[in-house]
Structures are given as structure tokens and as C-alpha cells.
Amino acid sequence: MNKQSGFTLIELMIVVAIIAILAAIAIPQYNDYTARAQLSEAYTLASGLKTPIAEAFAQDNTAANSCVVPAGTVTAGKYVATLTANASSPCVITATMAAAGVNSKIASDTVTLSFAPATGAWTCATTAPAEVKPKACL
């Protein structure tokens, strides 16, 4: 008599159940991870303007001349639709996420960096949900 070897049906069902539980936990975490990674592009592009704007304010302390996007600056990315700076005080740099082609949690959200010339401090704010906000904007 030959001995049969292999898995029983109950063993296979247990393995499938374990994989289903792991997938139920992993998929939402992966969505948050991709949203966070895409939103970091907005913060990175906006942060690139910190030094030129702070230097411009050190040379000419007027928002109209200092709070501008320098020529040749990258103002859009794979996930960022626009990057703008308004000529007001405080100076506000706004990076707006694209409406399509990004995680649905952050579509059309914004990341804003504000510069107060009197103190030289930068502050960050975003319209993105709390679970995907960049650490610098908490």
C-alpha cells in the first residue's frame, strides 16, 4: 500500500484564511504609503524655493520682489500640477496636487509653506488627511 502525502483541505483553508487576513491589513497601509510618497513630491518641490525666497527677502525686504518663483524653477512634477508663490506678506508657496493620476486621498490637495520675513520662520500646512501628512506639516 502506497502512503499518500499532501495537504488536507482544512490545512489549505487555514492558509487561505491567513493570507486573506494579511491582505486585509496590508492593502489599506499600502494605499496610505503611496499617498504619503506622492505628497512628499509637493513638499520637496515647495521646499526647493525656501532658500531663493529667503535670500531674496534678505536682499530686498518687499514681498512683491522677493516672493516670486525664480526663473527656471521646476513648477510641476509627476504628481504635482502647479507650484506657485504669491507676492504678499507672509510669503506663501503653494504646491497643488494633480486631480488625476494620484492617490484618491490626495487628489487636488495642497501643501503650503509660509515665510514670515520678520522672524525668518517657515511654517507648513496641508489640506491632505492626517494619516498622509508629511512630518514637517504636522
pLDDT in tens, 12-34: 999 999 999 999 999 989 999 99
Count of domains observed in the chain = 1
The reported pLDDT for the residue numbered 97 is 96
What does pTM read for this prediction?
A: 0.80
Per-residue pLDDT of 44-83, as tens digits, reads 999 999 999 888 888 887 767 788 888 899 999 999 999 9
Q: Please report whether residue 2 resides in a domain.
A: no
Query: If you ran DSSP here, which 8-state letter would residue 136 be given?
Result: G
Q: Which 8-state DSSP code applies to residue 67?
A: S
Phi and psi at 122, nearest 5°, equal: -105, 140
Rounded Cα distance between 11 and 106, Å, is 41
Q: Is residue 4 part of a domain?
A: no
| Residue 28 falls inside a structural domain | yes
CATH number at residue 62: 3.30.700.10
Hey, how many other C-beta atoms are within 10 angstroms of the C-beta on 93? 24
pLDDT at 66 (0 to 100): 84
Tell me which residue has cell 515665510: 115
Report how far residue 119's alpha carbon sits from residue 134's, in angstroms, rounded to the nearest whole number. 23
User: Range of 61's domain?
Assistant: 9-137
56 inside domain: yes
In a domain, 103, yes or no: yes
